[in-house]
Amino acid sequence: MQYLHTMIRVSNLDDTLHFFCDLLGMVEISRKSNEKGRFTLVFLAAPEDEARAREDKAPMIELTYNWDPEEYTGGRNFGHLAFCVDDIYALCEKLQANGVTINRPPRDGHMAFIKTPDGISIELLQQGEALPAREPWVSMENVGSW
C-alpha cells in the first residue's frame, strides 16, 4: 500500500492557492478542469516532496474546487494536515503578516496551528529540535480552535 494524497474541497481556489503556494511555499504539480463535471482539481506538494510527487504522484494535497457554490462545514472533524518546517517562527511571522491567524502560537518553538481559508487545520512542526522560546510567541494566547 502507498499513501497518495489528501483531498480537501475549497470554496475559493485563488485564495487557497495563495495560502498554500505563496504563504506556505507548496508547489503546484498539476491541474485539471472538467467542464462537464464543473470542477477543477489542483495537486500540490511540499517543495522537498516535489520530485517524488511528479514521479510517483504522491504524496500530495488535492484541492477540489466545485464551480457551483457550496458551503463547506465540518473542517474540524477532518482533523488536520501536518508539515515539518525549517523555521517555525519565520513562517508564523510571514503568515501573520499576511493576515493568517495563528490559532495555536509556537510558544514552545516546536508546534503551531493555523487554518486554511476554508477552516481546515494545519499543524506546523519545527524540523529537528525545538527552537528556543521567544517573544512574542511565548506570551500569545490561543485563538479559536484547531
> Domain coordinates of the chain in residue numbers?
5-66, 78-126
CATH architecture of 78-126: Roll (3.10)
Q: What is the mean pLDDT of residues 98-109?
A: 97
Domain 5-66 has CATH 3.40.50.300: no
User: What positions carry a catalytic annotation?
Assistant: 123
Say how far apart CA 28 and CA 44 lie, in whole Å.
Answer: 5
Same topology between domain 5-66 and domain 78-126:
yes
Torsion of CA 79, 129, 102, 89, to 10 degrees: -150
Taking alpha carbons only, the member of 144, 125, 120, 145 closest to residue 16 is: 120
Say how far apart CA 95 and CA 88 lie, in whole Å.
Answer: 10
Say how far apart CA 27 and CA 122 lie, in whole Å.
Answer: 17
pLDDT digits (tens, 9 = 90+) for 38-97: 999 999 999 999 999 999 999 999 999 999 988 877 665 567 899 999 999 999 999 999
DSSP secondary structure letter of residue 48: G
